[in-house]
């Protein structure tokens, strides 16, 4: 099943793929510059619901990552093999199945809501329910979780930004070539 491209025009979201730049925890490009955002149709359908729910509150999403080719998962794992924050690529990531999305909420002015940590801060403070963040940041995380779970996503307890479909392992893994997304530089 082909993946669906997610764009600001088609989905009313902002997109800043962290791994298409060097501004991520690896300090290097993981995707090629100009990489695009994709999701499996089942996840794309739930993202549309979440987008509508957020819009009713005057909010929008900023997407940091969605489909992540298996080659990219291996690059991330080679840099930081931490199973608390990265799926072991030998088992497969929900991102490499196109059924996970990393995101945050933007207010009406386009500013990100305070979530208490940055995206991909691999610390205990990034866990849902962390008491080591402000009450306002905790409320924003709960708002994000409420929107995403109401739309039909499951959450990952260690990362406030990560949402995936239930039974994500039921979906096939995709390499960049198999998905036809052109996200990776191929030598």
- Per-residue CA distances from 122 to 24, 95, 102, 111, 147 (Å): 12, 17, 14, 23, 23
Asked if 143 contacts 33 with a C-beta cutoff of 8 angstroms, the reply is: no
Write out the H or E segment, with its range, that includes residue 99. none
Annotated catalytic residue, options 5, 71, 121, 159: 159
Assign 76 to helix, strand or coil. Answer: helix
Q: Tell me how crowded residue 143 is: count the other CB atoms within 10 A of its CB.
A: 16
Q: Is 159 a catalytic residue?
A: yes
**Burial class of residue 112 in the structure, from the number of CB atoms within 10 Å of its CB (0-12 exposed, 13-18 middle, 19+ buried):** middle
Closest CA to 137 of 128, 149, 146, 147: 128
Pairing relation of β-strands 154-156 and 159-164? antiparallel
Closest CA to 165 of 98, 109, 116: 98
Assign 95 to helix, strand or coil. Answer: helix
Task: Catalogue the active-site residues.
Answer: 159
């Amino acid at each position: 099943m082909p993946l669906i491209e997610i764009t600001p025009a088609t989905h009313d979201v902002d997109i800043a793929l962290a791994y298409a730049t060097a501004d991520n925890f690896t300090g290097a490009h993981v995707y090629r510059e100009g990489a695009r955002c994709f999701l499996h149709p089942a996840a794309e359908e739930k993202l549309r619901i979440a987008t509508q729910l957020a819009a009713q509150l005057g909010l929008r999403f900023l997407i940091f990552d969605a489909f992540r080719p298996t080659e990219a998962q291996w690059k991330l794992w080679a840099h930081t093999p931490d199973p608390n924050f990265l799926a072991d690529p030998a088992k497969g990531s929900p991102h490499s199945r196109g059924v996970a999305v990393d995101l945050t909420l933007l207010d009406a002015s386009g500013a990100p809501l305070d979530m208490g940590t940055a995206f991909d801060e691999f610390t205990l403070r990034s866990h849902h329910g962390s008491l080591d963040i402000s009450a306002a940041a905790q409320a924003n995380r709960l708002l994000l979780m409420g929107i995403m779970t109401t739309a039909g996503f499951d959450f990952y307890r260690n990362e406030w930004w990560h949402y995936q479909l239930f039974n994500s392992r039921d979906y096939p893994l995709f390499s960049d070539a198999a998905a036809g997304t052109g996200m990776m530089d191929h030598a």
